[in-house]
Structure 1
Amino acid sequence: MQHIDARMTCGRLSFEDRKLVEIARAMYSDPKVLIIDETTSALSKNGRDILYGLMEKMKSEGKSVIFISHDIDELMEKCDYLTVFRDGIYIDEVPKEKFNADLIKQLMVGREMVGAYYREDFKPSHEDEVVLSVEHITQGIVTDVSFDAYKGEILGIGGLNECGMHELGKLIFGLEPRTIGVTRYHGGVEFKNPTDAMKLGIGYISKDRDKEAILTAASIRDNICLPSLSKLQKGIFITDKREKEFTNSYINTLEIKTSGMEQLCMHLSGGNKQKVVIAKWVGFDASVLIMDCPTRGIDIGVKAEIYRIMEKMKADGRTIILISEELPELIGMSDRLLIMKDGKITKEFQRSKELSDRDIINYMI
């Protein structure tokens, strides 16, 4: 954590550095029991290694760690004992000697989920039409990045947390200004900001859900309807009935667990918040959707639902740019995969049954 200037306000820190400060604050009082709630989903490999080291240190000192996570591989590797809850109800306890990924999935979801739950096909597939062109984008760490994305393609972008891929997503959508480079829709129309992007049917899901992807102090209805107000408008009016019908259709489609559409999003679970974010852009009818870590910090059941939505969008001829720190997700869902390191694209992979983490990781580190 030595790279963090203690004189800075936390509002100026990155998402990951804010989490590291949170860890430092929790450790300052030398706790005997440390509760870690979905913290690793916000951290890069370096950040995770710091946290794992603290966990091991506490264990060696006879102290306890309660480690809450949806990442099954992480739970199996780091925990001595696993307690499974589902929908707020205690389900079962599993000692380390009985850890089994398929068993844990079944306990978490409530039904059998054996093996992979990504796409079943292993061939890249998309139309020949270029929908989005990124040309020589340069700003901050991102340096001279260019690529085309095709109609009906899931284009994956991966790398370590600090490689520049999250910044690239914002630059493409126009949330941050570019020093050099342009983004074009269908090869011609240039767009520079979110307003222009949305007019062209381009949407963006931020990695930082609570700060950038959703209005936590607003209702589910307000969040889902916000990007689609012009579509809901009839003349100069938007009727209450029209908003309610629109919101209900997506609450039902995505099975958002809620007390009602007027419930504030701050009171939803992480998975249901993410469903609201997805509903917002699916309802907007985005032709291109930039998804930055869309399954971060949610359980495998919700993940599987989001993957099915992505497959449907692909089948409907929509384009998805999937930015993720999870290699299994990128390998499992992408037609084509771009790997970034130090702000540049270092390698491109095509979808293949033989493609593995080992093929990719050397181009990331």
Structure 2
Amino acid sequence: MFPTYFDFAATTPVDPKVAQAMAECLTLEGTFANPASRSHMFGWFAEEKVETARNQVAELVGADSREIVWTSGATESNNLALKGVFEKHGFSGHLITSATEHKAVLDVAAWLEKHGVHVTYLLPNEHGFIDAGQVADAIQADTRMVSIMHVNNETGAVNDIPEIGALLADKEIIFHVDGAQSIAKVAVNVEALKIDLLSISAHKFYGPKGVGALYVRRAVKEQLVAQIHGGGHERGLRSGTLATHQLVGMGLACELATDVIAEGQRIGALRDQLWQGIRDLPNVRSNVALQYCSPNHLNVCFSGVDGETLLLALNEVAISTGSACTSASVEPSYVLKAMGLSNDDAHSSLRISLGRFTTEGEVKAAVAHIKKTVKALQSAA
């Protein structure tokens, strides 16, 4: 039997409605054509589907559809945002980011450093998130960009994006946000949050893998250099044949996610129920207080119990030690280390993430299984 899925932060299953809409764009009987083929009706219909999807993405984040650039996912979006801006300016200037960003930002920042960009890495505050005061203190005369993720992929900590956006609004500093973990989990409006560049990935909110977008504020477009060339697609910012079926799937996933607040309240209540069920275990604590977290996340330290051993023993639930992109590593989580956890406590921490299809019955069963397993391992230690 398969374990119950509690790893929605790694990826979400495609919503059945999304899968059906995608299937209708694959065969001769459907809308399968190249959207760039404007010499016949097949291409026109495909282009219409793509632009409908672009509108759906834009509506979810409060943007104009002309500000949505298709990519293969948040990793490519992050690369386009950071490399695109600094290449435009000859790899000069200063970047502010955080030590707890996804590797898709940290590895790009390291690459930019090798090309001459000065990078400041902020550490999270005592609550596990980055606040506007830290950003203000780090700003220098040549600061060109601030790149801070909205929701941390490992801990669920929600960074102070509204205040950071307000801080930067009257400055000539580009504000990039990795929104991979926040879209459809917390409300995101690029105008209200004063975001200039926003990275989006469809597979984090019940859309297909391999497709995403970068929101590019019109005022910033001229400060961005394309990283993929060959055809001038996406208003010159990202070349490549558009995958109609993937874009249709992403667009519908955005449409289905419009009631973010109501869904977040339901999932958050289940997350809280799960935590209440295990919080009284000896030496167990949440690494980030729940009021500072996305409703989907719970990162728990089972101090004194090896995380890998616990992960293997918890065979009735599918959870993880941290980011899916670094789960093969035996090193302790760099995110938890940056928050001040010891190597042992970082190794003893697990990420539990819930989603749209999580049920109360699954939560109750998970609580019972986790309590039984942890107590057995603690007794054997």
Provide TM-score, normalisation by structure 1: 0.30
Higher relative contact order (CA 8 A, sep 6+): 2
Which structure shows the bigger proportion of residues in strand conformation? 1
State the TM-score, normalizing by the size of structure 2: 0.29
